[in-house]
Amino acid sequence: MQTLYYVLLVLHLIGWAITLGGVLVNFRPPRIATGVMHGILTALVTGILMVGIASASDAVDDPNNMKIGVKLVIALLVTGLVIFGARRPEKVTAGLLGSIAGLTVVNIAIAVLWR
């Protein structure tokens, strides 16, 4: 179980990296790249699977539920913004991309700094 958990962690980090990188390179002209949608969905699904494995397994420490709740809300906000931008490309602005990038960085910071 521990190996599966760490494989999911690598995929989770790759998903967030794709999301942040895809947004940062598409500020001019502002648009949501297809990879951003795949990245955020990868990060969201692998994060949920990681929490399930950590909760069910004795091989991995139990998750901090408050931290996971905050991270889930932020991930859902980012997912919603990405879906909105992908479905309505004419509404994508630098502000929307900045919001996605900022929330992504906040989610990463919470993962690293909240102990």
Domain residues for 84? 2-113
Q: Is the pLDDT of residue 31 over 90?
A: yes
Cα–Cα dist 93/78, whole Å: 15
Q: Is the pLDDT of residue 40 over 90?
A: yes
DSSP state of 91: G
Question: How many domains is the chain built from?
Answer: 1
pTM of the model: 0.93
Alpha-helical (H) ranges within 1-115 are 2-24, 34-56, 65-87, 94-113
Cα–Cα dist 89/23, whole Å: 13
Calculate Rg over the CA atoms of the chain: 15
Closest by Cα among 51, 42, 68 to 5? 51
Q: Confidence class of residue 5 from pLDDT cuts 50, 70 and 90? A: very high
pLDDT, averaged across the chain:
96
Mean pLDDT throughout 9-28?
A: 96
Q: Is the pLDDT of residue 108 over 90?
A: yes
Per residue in 59-105, pLDDT (tens digit) is 888 999 999 999 999 999 999 999 999 999 999 999 999 999 999 99
- Collapsing DSSP to helix, strand or coil, 89 comes out as helix
Q: Is the pLDDT of residue 115 over 90?
A: no
